[in-house]
Chain A
Amino acid sequence: MEHNLFETWIIDQVELNSEQEYALQQHLLDCSTCQRLQRNLQAAILSIQTSTPVAPEPGFSRRWNDSLAHRRAQQQAKQISFTRNILLVGLLFLLAMLVGYSLLITSPMRLLVSGMQNVMSLVLCWNQLGRIAFNLISALPPIIPLAIWVLLSTGLAGLSLFWVLTLWRISRQGVGNYETKT
């Protein structure tokens, strides 16, 4: 048989039948290269298997606990930064598309005039809405009983407080942790 085959048997540490084992032993008697290979490989593997596992310095789990809060904060900051960047990129893209489209269909001067008109209309609209709301508030009290007003304003105040508290908790603990705890 070829030398390479015996070499492969030695390196791969394959299980041999009695006939193959005999052939290998016969080859080893004549081949010093294979003898050396087998001896060195067995010794190297034995040295690995008998070596002591290396332990970390004492306090590994305490260091883990200490780093956990820091890692969480880092992850949360990364999440916030990622979301903000995505929103910003989306917004810029949308703006660029709008500006591009507008420039395609009209001249810059007309666009400017049209923009000014839109801003003016928005301001006027806002003023009108304010007036409508004021008139409504002035007209409603005689129609709706006082008790319902009190209930409505208390409910709204409660909801606002709950909303602010929730935002505060999420900003303090992070989304993942908040969801786990609730």
Chain B
Amino acid sequence: MNQAETQWLQHAIQGDDQAFTNLVEHYQTPVFNLCYRMLGDPQEAEDAAQESFWRAYQSIQRYDPQRPFATWLLSIAAHYCIDQQRRRRLPSFALDEITEEIVPDPAPDPEKMVGQIERDRLLHSLLVDMNGQDRAAIILRYWYDLSEQEISEALSLSVSAVKSRLHRARRLLAERWQEAQPASVNSERNTYGAQSF
């Protein structure tokens, strides 16, 4: 956390709304990205991110400065998204929404756009069958590079529970990746698989 962020945080704790808005501006992408990966829908992700910031705003007096602010914020967002996910099944992606949200390039290359959409579909298919906490653990581990200890704090789980969730989620990731690959690629890789090691 740099000097400016520390100052915004201190002022926000003292009730300065503008300082908190600066924090929102600074952390909007990581929080939105987490919500988007958890919920799979841009509009729901927007609502979830806004709600996460509101919850952070309400409880900022209870924030422990010893803890990284980003982890604390992501923890709030992850908990909210897990609750949301429990209430409903993950919806399917709408192509136009993905195009609008994921490719902010003002003059997008159509080939690049299609590639981006395909990659995003693939990522979605990897996560779609995981339950909320498994998905949150995988997202925090590989998108945000959090350690198992940090994930356990963020999700209010024990470290061994995080390990077991990551184990289950990684197994599912490998299975889904296998299913997502075209059959020809799989058979070719299976034939020559040993050489890649």
Contacts and interface: CB of A to CB of B under 8 A. Distances in A.
Asked whether A and B interact, the reply is yes
Interface of A: 8, 11-13, 25, 28-29, 32, 35-41, 43-45, 47-49, 51-57, 60-61, 63-65, 67-68, 71, 75, 180-181
A67 B49 CA distance: 12
B173 A45 contact: yes
A16 B57 CA distance: 44
Nearest to B116: A52
B171 interface: yes
26 contacts: A32-B194, A36-B189, A39-B193, A39-B196, A40-B177, A41-B170, A44-B174, A47-B119, A47-B126, A48-B123, A48-B126, A48-B142, A53-B30, A53-B33, A53-B143, A54-B37, A54-B45, A54-B101, A54-B102, A56-B32, A60-B25, A61-B28, A64-B50, A65-B17, A67-B50, A180-B15
Contacts of B49: 56, 60
B24 interface: yes
B90 interface: no
B190 interface: yes
A29 B197 CA distance: 8
B193 A65 contact: no
- Majority DSSP secondary structure for residues of B touching A: helix
A107 to B, nearest CB: 54
Given A32-B193, A55-B28, A61-B28, A71 B54 contact: yes
A61 to B, nearest CB: 4
A38 B176 CA distance: 13
Contact of B174 (A29, A40, A64, A71): A40
Interface of B: 15, 17, 21, 24-25, 28-30, 32-33, 36-37, 42, 45-46, 49-50, 53-54, 57-58, 100-102, 104, 116, 119-120, 122-123, 126, 138, 142-143, 163, 166-167, 170-171, 173-178, 189-190, 193-194, 196-197
Tell me the dominant secondary structure on chain A's binding face: helix
A37 B171 CA distance: 8
Nearest to A37: B174
B156 to A, nearest CB: 22
Contacts of B122: 47
B117 to A, nearest CB: 12
Contacts of B170: 11-13, 41, 45
Given A32-B190, A54-B32, A64-B24, A48 B143 contact: yes
